[in-house]
Amino acid sequence: MDKSVRVGIIGLGNMGSAHARMIKEGKVPGLELAAIADERSDVSKAFPDIRFFESGSYLIKSGEVEAVIVCTPHYSHTTYGIETLDAGLHLLVEKPISVHKADCERLIEASKGKDVVFAAMFNQRTDPAYLKLKHLIESGELGEIERVQWTITDWYRPDAYYASGGWRATWSGEGGGVLMNQCPHQLDLWQWLFGMPETIWADCQIGRFHDIEVEDSVTAVMKYADGKRGVLITTTGEAPGTNRLEVACARGRVILENGKVEWLRNEVENREFLKTTKNLFGKPDTWKVEIPFPNTGEQHLGVLKNFAKAILDGELLIAPAAEGMNSVELANAMLLSAAEGGEVSLPMDSSRYEALLKSRIAASKPKARVEVRGSVDSDEFAKSF
């Protein structure tokens, strides 16, 4: 790859700084770090030889860059994203691409008719375990999927975490709690692996464990047109917590947990066996198989490399940004279901959730920041580095 793309990064928190370092150190062939922007001028000290702007808008309009990576707080993903696209620049947006579906629609609309690459930072699509599961599903090896259950409770957060920034765990600052802050990658993986459901019912408990105004405990049930059901359970108030994805299918049950993919494989498919056996309490014989997969994946680095290759060589994107609306819609629909007390059909009318969010923002009360030990700028940073 002889050519390179001059890229600017808006937002130098932990994730933005990590991306900047990888690019500056030459770990991303095809990308050259040309500019950075942040409201805090002191962050520029870490990159003294890189052009610095105190505003993302100034960076976008500067003519210094051909591509932009947006790593700012959630709400500004939409505004900076639209500015970038309107300027005809390539765009990579951190998760979530927007806080709510209506803003996703505005952002995606701004990309139409533009000859630019528009990607999302869904780096867990490069994780070998999820890639293996996706292959097993799409190859037909598992047969028909009957049920999905994902329990993700291993991101316990103490009160000090939420007190570390006045914007944290507020409708006006983050636009939600565990669904918007911790779960975007898992919601993306859910729709990437299993598709979008027809309806969602959810119980979202506001401040069950913490003194916050957003949800910190969620149980959601998703219904699909083919009859399968999905259950998502997540919270930031449970310790020690777990991360277990269980997929029940015609040919057995697959479990992703503790860095392993285990398949309890039926010798005969469920539905065939139940129609043919004469044993009143019979069930298919099974084999226990541990599915091998590579131990490492490139995660963020892989998405950055893919972004460069998509611009320079036309490589297909790992995570097209337009697909980022699906995970946002799942989160929005869960919160809307909890607020209205019933099932929400998909595709969801984005204006219904936007109205709910606006009413909650109007009543939002950001707290004073409390100085705490440790870096908490990004949950994804803490999980991935």
Task: For the chain, list the domains and their CATH numbers.
Answer: 5-123+298-319 (3.40.50.720), 125-297+327-384 (3.30.360.10)
pLDDT above 70 for 383: no
Q: How confident is the model at residue 380 (pLDDT cuts 50, 70, 90)?
A: very low
Mean pLDDT over 242-262 rounds to: 97
* The pLDDT of residue 153: 98
* The pLDDT of residue 369: 54
% residues pLDDT > 70 (the chain): 94
How many angstroms separate the Cα of 223 from the Cα of each of 8, 11, 203?
42, 38, 15
pLDDT above 80 for 69: yes
* The pLDDT of residue 377: 38
Q: How confident is the model at residue 294 (pLDDT cuts 50, 70, 90)?
A: confident
How far apart, in whole angstroms, are the C-alpha atoms of residue 212 and residue 262?
Answer: 38
Half-sphere exposure of residue 18: CA atoms within 13 angstroms, side-chain side: 16
Residues 66 and 90: beta-carbon distance below 8 Å: yes
How far apart, in whole angstroms, are the C-alpha atoms of residue 120 and residue 59?
Answer: 20
SS3 labels along 261-287: EEEEEECCCHHHHHHHCCCCCCCCCEE
Residues 11 and 56: beta-carbon distance below 8 Å: yes
Residues 162 and 96: beta-carbon distance below 8 Å: no
For the chain, helix (H) and strand (E) counts, in that order, are: 13, 15
pLDDT for 351-371, tens place per residue?
A: 999 999 999 999 998 766 544
Residues 169 and 217: beta-carbon distance below 8 Å: no
One-letter amino acid identity for 89? L
* The pLDDT of residue 373: 37
Mean pLDDT score across all residues of the chain: 93
Nearest to 115 by CA among 168, 44, 66: 66
How many angstroms separate the Cα of 341 from the Cα of each of 99, 201, 329, 334, 338?
22, 8, 17, 10, 5
Beta strands across the sheet bearing 286-290: 286-290, 260-266, 252-257, 243-249, 145-152, 229-235, 215-223, 199-206, 344-345
Mean pLDDT over 33-38 rounds to: 98
77 or 164: which leads in pLDDT: 77
Place of tokens 């052009």: 51
